[in-house]
Amino acid sequence: MKKLLALILVVILTVSTFSFSRVSAAGFSDVPSNHGFYTEIMYLVDKGVISQTGTFGVDQKVTREEVAVMVSKAVGLSGGKTKTPFKDVPSTSASSGYIKSAVDAGVLSGFTDGTFRPKQIVNRGEMAIFLAKAFKLTTESTTKFKDMSSSMASYISVKKIVQAKITTGYSDSTFRPTQTLTRGQISAFLARAMGAGKESGAAKTYSTKQIVAMNDSKVVLIETDVSQGSGIVIANGLILTNHHVMRGASSATVIFNDGTEYQVSGVVESNPKKDIAIIKTSKTFNVSGVNVRSSSQGLSKGEKVVAIGSPQGLQNTVSDGIISALRVIDGVSTIQTNADIDQGSSGGALFNENGQLIGMTSSGYDDVMANLNFAIATEEFVPLVNKYKTMNFGSVPASFIPSPTQVPVLGNVALGMTMEQVKQLTQGNYVEEDATELFYSDVNAFGYQADVIYEFQNNKLFAMTVYHYIANQTEVEILEDYFYGMYDDLVETYGVADDLNRDWNDDEEDYSLYAYWMTPAHHLLLSVTMTIDNESFGGIRFEVL
């Protein structure tokens, strides 16, 4: 029995350590979700402009060939291999069709010596020319840059992409037209251009009254059994709100501005750190989602904004103001505004003068000196929105958390929960997941930091392994203190262990301390192991019987 238990934990924890080293299949390995261009790059993946591989080369310089391929895909030009008029672009080249299409469309051109120079690096001025032509931008900005003059080939194109809010230049009033571009930067510019191009060059501006008329029906009041807040329609049956609006709720109702009510079937997914959540109504409704701006990049202090929410339950109250600042608070991108936000406005919408959603209102307070209010910037929730908004309504999971019959064993997490429920309730850093496992690091578990592996069968949590960092060292005294202290803590909940070994058990290849409980709902194993190679590990495993 003792050898079997020790062996089980050796296998469990050894596998767990290996699992954390695997690269997640979602996204690119060099573009983590907190990367500044993550939203734009994944948007281009979604649109088929770039292909998802192991790495993206986000910091590599971009070439004329790459620009031709990306721009052609973005505007729908053909790309089959073909003969070109350029002696350095053979018909066998994978980019030959895209280059010819871009040239035929007048987006790019070759050189007088009959070459295209596909490997030549592109600079910011050239990028402006390519984008202005590809997306047929016509309206020019009045913004002036001290390093640009009317004699420059890119002068007019730069004014056009600035007006389309594809870029704003630098804070020192320069554009730096000769500065080369990286693959990450061109992706950001191109993603913004794909949105800007739909407005035929210039993003149209609206009055406060017009913005309200466009979006009032798309902002809702949310009433739960524990709180009240606001929400934003992102798709048929799906509504975006703050995590704290739904925290602790076991039922909720969505009320549209015309008085129509829908019951909420549950939370689809949420992120406590970013304070975002998506909820699902019990049946669909005929209201389209808001127009969401991909990120706050390109926004500036002083720009007009309009807020719609339900402060103190006063449904769809409108206020306007300006962007006071763009800030990162506790790792989350936020928009500071002087537009009034009060209790009940949480989960409401913040729009720019183009009628685009640029943030979700989350907090604010008034004092005699200033009106300080904050909204979560769109780059924090766009990936979550994109994940669900195109899914079939019936395929979107949703539930309230936790079920009264589920007893938490690690923080608020209980065996029997779904993967989405566990993700909503687990603290620490998300690492990766697959169909049957979910991995987190830096979780505060029973007073110690740990890696945690959650295991699922039929989307129900049946086991979890806690791998405590404190047990990953070689001082016997520290390991024993950890084991004895953890055992005493667990005894307060589970009673005396069914099987306990307080002395180092010699298993020829390693030494271990362990305690084993078998409860009516699950069994529990606490163990510390030292190998003959002077390595150690330890932790706790819960598993449904």
Could you write out the DSSP letters of every residue in 141-194? -----TT--TTSTTHHHHHHHHHTTS----TTS---TTSB-BHHHHHHHHHHHH
- Measure the CA–CA gap between 513 and 61, rounded to whole angstroms: 55
Degrees to nearest 5, angle at CA 183 with 180 and 189: 80
30 found inside a domain:
no
Cβ(275)–Cβ(362) below 8 Å: yes
* Lowest-pLDDT choice from 47-51, 148-152, 273-277, 352-356: 47-51
CATH number at residue 341: 2.40.10.120
* Angle formed at CA 17 by CA 11 and CA 21, multiple of 5 degrees: 140
70 Cβ contact list (under 8 Å, min separation 6):
44, 49, 50, 186, 187, 190
- Residues 367, 487 share a domain: no
Torsion of CA 16, 18, 20, 23, to 10 degrees: -140
Averaged over 133-143, what is the pLDDT?
88
Is position 50 within any domain?
yes
Determine, yes or no, domain membership for 508. Answer: yes
Q: Which of 105, 162, 155, 108 has the alpha carbon at shortest distance from 139?
A: 162
Amino acid 370: pLDDT: 56
Can you give the residue range of the structural domain that contains 431?
1-25+404-545
User: Which of 164, 179, 199 represents a domain boundary (last residue)?
Assistant: 199
Shared domain for 374 and 518, answered yes or no, is no
Structure tokens given for 234: 């992102």
Summarize the confidence of residues 506-520 as an average pLDDT: 79
Last residue of a domain, one of 370, 400, 430: 400
Q: Is this model's pTM higher than 0.85 or not?
A: no
Verify that 176 and 42 share a domain, yes or no: yes
Report the alpha-carbon angle 350-290-46, nearest 5: 115
Give the pLDDT band of residue 375 (cuts 50, 70, 90): very high
Alpha carbon distance 295, 276 (integer Å): 15
If asked whether residues 466 and 526 sit together in one domain, one would say yes
**pLDDT score for 10:** 39
CA distances from 465 to 8, 19, 468, 471 (A): 11, 12, 10, 14
Q: What is the pLDDT of residues 383-398, one digit of tens each?
A: 888 888 878 888 999 9
Q: For 488-506, how does the pLDDT look when each residue is reduced to its tens digit (9 = 90+)?
A: 888 777 767 778 888 887 7
pLDDT band of residue 79 (cuts 50, 70, 90) is confident
Please state, as a whole number, how many other Cβ atoms lie within 10 Å of the Cβ of residue 125: 20
> 213 and 131, same structural domain?
no
pLDDT of residue 368: 42
Residue 33 maps to a domain: no
Residue 25 confidence class, pLDDT cut points 50, 70, 90 = very low
Asked if the structure places residue 31 within a domain, the reply is: no
389 shares its domain with 503: no
Q: How far apart are CA 274 and CA 331, in angstroms?
A: 9
222 is a domain residue: yes
Q: Are residues 355 and 219 in the same domain?
A: yes
Q: Total structural domains in the chain?
A: 3
Tell me what pLDDT residue 27 has. 64
- Amino acid at the residue 482: Y
pLDDT of residue 90: 93
Q: Are 233 and 146 within one domain?
A: no
Confidence of residue 24 (pLDDT cuts 50, 70, 90): very low
Q: In this structure, are 464 and 364 located in the same domain?
A: no
d(CA 141, CA 198): 18
Residue 33: predicted pLDDT: 66
Which of these three, 347, 373, 400, is where a domain ends? 400
Residues 109 and 174 in one domain: yes
* 529 domain-assigned: yes
Q: Is 275 among the domain residues?
A: yes
Average pLDDT of the residues in 262-285: 91
* 376 and 438 housed in the same domain: no
* Residues 384 and 272 placed together within one structural domain of the fold: yes
